[in-house]
């Protein structure tokens, strides 16, 4: 097994429970940690033998582009698509962070973390 991380994917999106949040939008950060067998690609040096992080970035951007009330909903959609579109992924963790959230204080970010494994 091996790990691929795609970190600090920056996205502007429209998530939140407040009307203003979905109308105005805000900045988000998404991080991924993917577990997969990387031994074949290490030997073959071929993209087809590994998890394509261009695909991972596209999944994040696509799912972040669909407004949701909760970050948990977006995180679940990202995980579901990763398992659907990349058979090599055995386990995945996603962090979705809302930067400068409007929660009445000086808060840098609010983050949810979700992990899922491939169903056998």
CATH number of the domain bearing residue 91: 3.30.1130.10
For residues 20 and 116, the model is more confident at 116
Whether the per-residue pLDDT at 102 is higher than 90: the answer is no
In this prediction, residues 12-26 reach a mean pLDDT of 85
Q: Going along the chain, which residue ranges are E strands?
A: 2-13, 26-36, 89-99, 109-117
Query: Considering the entire predicted model, what is its pTM?
Result: 0.93
Burial 43-71 (b: 16+ CB within 10 A, else e): eeeeeeebbeeeebeebbeebbeeebeeb
Whether the per-residue pLDDT at 28 is higher than 80: the answer is yes
Total count of domains within the chain: 1
Whether the per-residue pLDDT at 13 is higher than 90: the answer is yes
Lowest mean pLDDT among 4-8, 22-26, 105-109: 22-26
User: Which domain does 92 fall in, by range?
Assistant: 2-117
């Amino acid at each position: 097994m091996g790990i691929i991380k795609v970190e600090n994917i920056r996205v502007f999106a429209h998530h939140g429970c407040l009307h203003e949040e979905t109308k105005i939008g805000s900045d988000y950060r998404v991080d991924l940690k993917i577990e997969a067998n990387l031994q074949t690609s290490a030997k073959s040096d071929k993209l087809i033998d590994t998890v394509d992080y261009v695909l991972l970035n596209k999944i994040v951007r696509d799912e972040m582009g669909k407004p949701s009330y909760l970050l948990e909903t977006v995180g679940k959609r990202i995980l579901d698509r990763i398992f659907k579109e990349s058979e090599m992924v055995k386990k995945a963790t996603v962090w979705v962070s809302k930067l400068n959230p409007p929660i009445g204080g000086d808060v840098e970010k609010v983050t949810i973390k979700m992990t899922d494994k491939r169903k056998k």
